[in-house]
Amino acid sequence: MKKNIIVLKLSGKIIDQKSVFSSIIQKIVLLAKSNSVIIVHGGQEQISRMAKDMNIEVKFVNGQRYTDEKMLELVQYIFAVIRNNVVNEINNQGGHSIGLCGVDGDIILAKQIHTLGYVGKVTKVNPGLLKLLISKRYIPVISPLGKQGSTLLNINADNIAASIAISLKADKLIFMSEIGGVVDKDGNLISTLHRNKIRQLISDGTVTGGMIPKLEACYYTLLRGVKEINITNSIRVVCRKKRYDFVSLQGTRILR
C-alpha cells in the first residue's frame, strides 16, 4: 500500500506545552505507521525567552526579527535543544526519529535577506536525504536553518515546511500551532478555505500578523501541487482498514 507523505510544522508554543506536546507526538507516531511523516519545528518563543534571560537585545526591522551573529548562535543552540527533545519524545513513544537541520546534506539552500541579517528565504530543497530516511521508516525532525554558500541562515519554519512539502510532492501539509485556524473579521473560524480566496483575506485585512506569511506559504504550496493543507491546534488519528489517517478536530482546511 502506497504511503502518503505528510509534512508537519510543529510550533514552539505547542512544544512548550508538555502534556499537549506529548499527546500530539503519540498521534504522530501512530500516523507514521501508515504514512511517511516529516516534522519541521519552530521555536521563536523559546528564542525570545532565552534572549531576554541572557540580556540579548532582540531587534526588529519592519516587524521582522533581525538575526545578527550573536542571535544566530543563540538560535542554533535553541534549535538543537528543541530538535533533540522532539526526537527523544518520538523515540520514547515507540517511533523511530532522527534530527537534522536544514544544512545537513544541503537539504535547504537559501538566499540571504541582508536587511534582516543572517536570515534567508528558501531557494531550493534537495530532498534526497529525506527520501532515504522516510523509505527506512524514520521520522525526520528538521530545524529551520539553511545556507547560502558557506553562510548559515535562520529561516522561517513555515517557509521550510512548505518548501519541503513541494519538493516531496506531499499529500498533506499540516501547520500545528496554538492558533486554531483562520478566522473571519468577526472572529469566526473559517473551516474550509480555497486557494483563490487567500489573497483577498490578506488584502482586506482579515488576516494579520504571523498568519499572513503562513497563508502566503499555503498559497504557493497549493499552486505547486500539494493537495491539502490544514492549520489546526489539535489532531485526531483514526484507523480505517488497518491504515492510520489524520483527522483534524478543528481548524482550517485549505484546498486547491
pLDDT tens track for 145-186:
999 999 999 999 999 999 999 999 999 999 998 878 999 989
**Mean pLDDT, range 14-27, rounded to an integer:** 92
Check pLDDT > 70 for residue 246.
no
Check pLDDT > 70 for residue 247.
no
pLDDT tens track for 98-126:
999 999 999 999 999 999 999 999 999 99
CATH number, domain of 47, equals 3.40.1160.10
* Residue 201 grid coordinates: 483575506
**CA 66, 211, 46, 89 torsion: positive or negative?**
negative
Q: Identify the pLDDT of residue 213.
A: 82
* Residue 11 grid coordinates: 510550533
Q: Mean pLDDT for the chain?
A: 92
Domain region containing 126: 4-255
Check pLDDT > 70 for residue 28.
yes
* Residue 2 grid coordinates: 502506497
Q: Identify the pLDDT of residue 63.
A: 72
Q: Choose from 18-22, 45-49, 129-133, 226-230 the range with maximum mean pLDDT.
A: 129-133
Check pLDDT > 80 for residue 1.
no
| pLDDT tier, 138 (very low <50, low <70, confident <90, very high otherwise) | very high
Check pLDDT > 90 for residue 61.
no
Q: How many domains does the chain have?
A: 1
Long-range contacts from 245-250, C-beta under 8 angstroms, 24+ separation: 245/31, 245/34, 245/35, 246/6, 246/31, 246/35, 246/172, 246/174, 250/180, 250/181, 250/189
Under 8 Å between Cβ of 12 and 254? no
Q: Identify the pLDDT of residue 170.
A: 94
Q: CA-CA-CA-CA torsion for 175, 79, 112, 225, nearest 10 degrees?
A: -30
Check pLDDT > 90 for residue 210.
no
